[in-house]
Amino acid sequence: MLADVHGNATALKAVLEDANKNSVTDYISAGDITKRGPSPQECVDLLKNASNEVWIMGNHEKTYHDMINFNDPLTKGPKRVMEIVLNDYDKKHLNKGTYNWLANLPYSQEIQFEGISIQVFHSLPDKPWGHETGPLAKQTYFDRMLDNSNADIAIYGHTHKQVMRYSTKDRLVINPGTVGLATTSGTLEKSNFAQYVILEVNNHNIINVEFKRIAYNIENELKVARERNLPYLELYSTLIKTGQYSYSVENIESVNKKANFDELSNTLLK
């Protein structure tokens, strides 16, 4: 199980290689495959080649949907400018049709595996955005994940934090963390590893849940980003090198001014 690849194909390759070594047979992705990293199409292709079982919309794919339908992204101010600029970058680096396909993925999907029902979504079943589902969130939000479902397990992403909790009805809730944009949690955990989860199930039973953290070649990833003139490169570089969250409003506004992205975003909307 994986989530939040964010266009970082180098990290995704490392995760898939490690998963293969661990005899993983099936893959589930919980959204935000693209956006912010330099390789959106490669990430989609890698997951398709791995026979990914679930394709659902993350909040970043939701911005594709909004732009296609002439709606402003949910974010405002400098972040709105960033969404417009990065959407344009991704559209140019995705194969024809892939951008529209990602923009129309469902919010939630339920699958059956080894007699176990798994509900997959990005943040909550009815929306792929918001800040309700962090590791320390109120129990009511984890119950809400499965309120309208008979699934045994909920898989979600969005928070970039690895989580295992239970609903009040004792149903398992798992967040595999982020493949491509790991951020520090203030603990001794290595903050810039690619993250995923191996869920071992057999004959209606959960055998094991293993949280994984995998090193990958960050300099190779940044080489690709530089070669492709990735917008907001300095922010992307800081985050994947240090694990420190770099996409603050202040930092984005500074880049927008230096790169004339405010003007570019207005042009792109015409």
pLDDT digits (tens, 9 = 90+) for 78-117: 999 999 999 999 999 999 899 999 999 999 999 998 889 9
Residue 137 falls inside a structural domain:
yes
Which pLDDT does position 73 carry in this prediction? 60
- Amino acid in the structure at residue 124: L
Number of domains forming the structure of the chain = 1
Please report whether residue 259 resides in a domain: yes
Measured in whole angstroms, how far is the alpha carbon of residue 33 from the centre of its chain? 5
Say if residue 185's pLDDT is above 80: no
Confirm whether 4 is domain-assigned.
Answer: no
- In terms of Cα–Cα distance, which of 27, 31, 8 is closest to 159? 31
Task: Give 87: exposed, middle or buried? Use CB within 10 Å, 0-12, 13-18, 19+.
Answer: buried
User: Residue 144: inside a domain, yes or no?
Assistant: yes
Identify the domain containing residue 200 by its residue range. Answer: 9-269
| Domain-located, residue 130 | yes
Mean per-residue pLDDT for 125-133?
A: 93
**Of residues 66 and 261, more confidently modeled:** 261
Residue 48 within a domain = yes
Q: Residue 111 maps to which CATH number?
A: 3.60.21.10
Alpha-carbon distance 207 to 191, whole Å? 28
Does residue 54 fall inside a structural domain?
Answer: yes
CA distance 62 to 23: 33
User: Distance between CA atoms of 173 and 1, rounded to whole angstroms?
Assistant: 12
pLDDT tens column, 59-76:
999 999 988 876 666 678
What is the total residue count of the chain? 270
